[in-house]
Amino acid sequence: MRIERRDKILALKEARRSKLPLEYNVNGDIVHLGKISFGCSACTARHSKSLYAIYTGCECNVKCPYCYYDPDRTDDLWNTKRKMQESLETLYNFSQEPNRDLLTVSYNSWGETLMYMNQLQKASALVRKIEQATGNKIYNHTYTNGMFATKEVLDKLKSWGFIELRFHLSASNFSEKVLKSMEYWSSIGGITTVEEPSLPEYRDKIISLFPRFADIGVKHLDIVEIQITKDNRKNLDKKYPDAVIYNDMLWHMYDEGNVYDIIEAALKKFDGKIPFSIIDCNSRIECARNSTYTGNNRILDDANWNRPNWEATFKAVRIED
């Protein structure tokens, strides 16, 4: 892989974007077609007191070659069991503050979140206490490869107050079992998002699944440009020797316009009336994550999420329906 200047890559992106009916928010750093998942909004407001991230753990049941974490990580090696407990203790302290206006909670992991159901259950119980104390509904969401998302597990998550699940389909090689789990999650009222790395090897498969996504009730398709670290550089260098990498707060592998190929295919497939949003989660998201935005910057929320007075409670980003 070779290094290229950031300004050159951004110019290539803008030239391609200018031909598509995209929306730009948060100073142009968030690019999308259709509404953005409310789960996505948490990434742009990490300094807001209305947000909290529950830490689950670092272990995973698969080793994706593009993963930017150490493939040999364990909870014991990374001492993450202590971090998990500290995360619960902090949330407990929040639960004792009835005036705290917590808007959204994400369940974060350096691995597979559904391997940590005990942690999810404990944390969601504390979230419910905050809801009862404040009278406010909190937006619970998490990321999963879906391999452990049985009906029993999904029913538990729904009963614990989870609203959105973000499925990483390629981790299971687009498993039919996971697709059926997504369908079930949608059928019981959950918001279903697909989040995939922006790699050319997955483009045709994602496009072929458009009708299935529509039938399942997928609300959002989030295409993420790959972050480069010491833990995935060798794998990616071997697989994509001619790829370009660039630094835009963090190192990323330029997707060569892959996300825009997907957007164009969706516009054509659905004759411009796409049943789910498509989000270009590109390197500029790091700028949105590391800044506090005010004024007329905005993120569009999911149509199924409804809570009044967002603008008063969500300080870092103004949300409109």
The bridge status of strand 2-3 relative to strand 244-248 is parallel
d(CA 161, CA 191): 12
For residue 198, give the 3-state DSSP assignment.
coil
Q: What angle do CA 174, 176, 178 make, to 5 degrees?
A: 75
Of 227, 192, 226, give the one whose Cα is nearest residue 209: 192
pLDDT for residue 287: 65
Which range marks the domain in which residue 280 is found? 2-320
Radius of gyration of the chain (CA): 19
pLDDT for residue 224: 93
CB 188 within 8 A of CB 6: no
pLDDT for residue 294: 34
pLDDT for residue 295: 31
Q: Residue 222 has what DSSP assignment?
A: E
pLDDT for residue 178: 98
Give how far Cα 244 sits from Cα of 16, 224, 229, 232, 264, Å.
17, 16, 14, 15, 22
Residue 241's CB is within 10 A of a number of other CB atoms, namely 9
pLDDT in tens, the chain (321 residues): 899 999 999 999 999 999 999 988 766 778 889 888 888 766 666 555 677 889 999 999 999 999 999 999 999 999 999 999 999 998 888 778 766 778 888 998 899 999 999 999 999 999 998 888 888 888 899 999 999 999 999 999 999 999 999 999 999 999 999 999 999 999 999 999 999 999 999 999 999 999 999 999 999 999 999 999 999 999 999 999 999 999 987 899 999 999 999 999 999 999 989 999 999 988 777 666 654 443 333 343 444 444 433 333 333 333 332
pLDDT for residue 47: 52
> Looking at the 3D structure of the chain, how many domains does it have?
1
CATH number at residue 64: 3.20.20
Residue whose entry in the numeric block shows the structure tokens 């890559």: 9
Amino acid identity, residue 55?
Answer: Y
